[in-house]
Amino acid sequence: MKLFYSLYTFIAFAGVATASIGVREQTVFASLSEPIREFRTLDLTSISSEQFTTFSHPGFPGRSARIKKSTFCDGGVNSYTGYIDVGAKHLFFYFFESRNDPDTDDVLLWTNGGPGGSSATGLFMELGPCNIASTNSTKYNPYSWNSNANIFFIDQPIGVGFSYHDFSDSPSSSEEAGLDVAAFSAIFFETFSKFKGRNFHLTGESYAGRYLPVYAAAIYDQNADLIAKGLTPINLKSIMIGNGATDFLYLMISYYDMQCTSAGIAPVQPISTCVRMKQTIPRCDKMYKAACVEHFDLIDCRAAFDFCQAELMMPYIEAGYNNYDMSMKCVTNQDCYPEQDDIAEYLNSASVRLELGVDSDFGNFTSVSYAVNGRFWASGDPLHQTQLYVAELLARGVKVLIYAGAYDFICNWVGNERWTLDMEWAGQAGFAGVPLREWLMDGNPAGKTRTNGNLTFATIYGAGHLVPHDKPNESLEMVKRWLADVPM
């Protein structure tokens, strides 16, 4: 499962560890509550395309930004690449201004999942301004999400993609990584100061179902420190999660529905297998809730997870269907998604890396860090309930969009719909009372949706795990409506 790396892996795989970059003196950055001594404004028009321009701010000791201008990927808009440096941590990003109106349009952050996946996948295969065309070229993407939004793609957590730590260290939980992303976001908006106060949306897919609620909470809570320092708070407007791994118990139980009913495609398992799976569900539910929810015990929770996985997920894998699109069978993921290998070769080109400003002694780019993946699984990060964060965000007025391609298996629409219905929040009864209805695009059904208050659930017909890749026009229309507060 190379493309999106196995979501269900406890082993820290060998290889793919990010190379250590020249060691720098480690800086312990001060609290955001320290008084501001002076301000500095960065003029984006003065940023060089030949080398990094470094930006620092007295309100963020130990943090800085290294930025270079670029015509990379979409020459029709202002674009930048670089690093946000937080002490010994260095988070790589790509930033593209809106094709519509960069001076007024919202700002989006995109991250892929994993844990351990580079957001280059989203950039070059899904929603970025360009798609990979070959190992040495890209092509214009007319359905990019920067059609009417400013968007940056971030390689996170530390150790993923082009991001690195001076001392070969990286987070092992979403809560740790969330502090880095909150710090990144604060210095980003101070650096690109013309975007301060804009509506800000966190977007992503797959393991971003775990990442984004945690990261949004860290960004929201950080605002109190920013305000205390006289800085502009981050205007967190929404989170948008595509085919998310937000609650693994709901996903595990939903695997019966996806294999034995017509929830995705026609049933793919023989009756005998479906009967066994159906009988297994109560035991899986009981074991998982006892060990992972009611009282979290990492060893017992892993045992419960392993049991559920063996009984409910493995029959699908053994049947040979694509984990990310049930309508496809693939010998390897590269058979279904050949772009993945092209992206890695493209980003390892010396000329491309020079254009991006990647540190010269960085090792090979890989689409997934199995070292990061292993650390997250070893800590049990995927096994915690993340909808608790979603409920708290909803209570504070943050909008939430949960969308899913109808053909995805691994993080399917059935499991995602169920946790949104069962989540305890002020609007639960109202949300559950709204029937699913079809949403239309150009008069044709594009999927189903349900909305109550600031929570929306939606499906996209004909799409798998990678909705912007599979249904680019429909995914862009969904985003446009979401940003404009237009019902789907």
CA separation for the pair 51, 188 (Å, rounded): 19
Cα dihedral angle (273, 279, 284, 286), rounded to 10 degrees? 180
DSSP string, 85-99: EETTEEEEEEEE--S
At which residue do the structure tokens 């892929």 appear? 112
Q: Which amino acid, residue 99?
A: R
Question: Which residues lie below 8 Å from residue 284, measured CB to CB, with a gap of 6+?
Answer: 249, 252, 253, 304, 307, 308, 311, 312
449 - beta bridge partners? Answer: 437, 458
Look at residue 333 in the predicted model and tell me its pLDDT.
60
Q: How far apart are CA 207 and CA 212, in angstroms?
A: 9
- Give which of 285, 252, 246 is closest to 391, Cα–Cα: 246
Q: Which of 95, 96, 6, 80 is nearest to 324 (CA)?
A: 6
Report the CATH number of the 44-246+382-483 domain: 3.40.50.1820
Q: What is the pTM of this model?
A: 0.90
* Cβ pair 260, 267 in contact under 8 A: yes
pLDDT in tens, 54-75: 887 777 888 888 888 888 887 7
CATH (residue range 250-329) = 1.10.287.410
User: Whose structure tokens read 């909705």?
Assistant: 467
Peptide bond into 157 cis (omega under 30): yes
φ/ψ (deg, to 5) at 341: -65, -35
> 430 phi and psi, to 5 degrees?
-65, -40
Give the length of the chain. 488
Per-residue confidence (pLDDT) for residue 331, from 0 to 100: 66
Residue spans of the domains in the chain: they are 44-246+382-483, 250-329
- Name the stretches of the chain with pLDDT < 70: 1-43, 331-335
Active site residues: 206, 408, 465
- Among 313, 312, 333, 330, which Cα is nearest to 321's? 330
pLDDT of 40: 52
Parallel, antiparallel, or unpaired: how do β-strands 200-206 and 236-244 relate?
parallel
Residue 38 near residue 58, CB atoms below 8 Å? yes
Distance from C-alpha of 344 to C-alpha of 418, rounded to nearest angstrom: 36
Q: What share of the chain is helix, strand, coil (3-state, %, to 5)?
A: 40, 20, 40
Q: pLDDT tens across 341-391, in order?
A: 999 999 999 999 989 989 877 888 989 999 999 999 999 999 998 999 999
Interior angle at CA 231, CA 225 and CA 232, nearest 5: 105
Tell how far CA 275 is from the center of its chain.
35
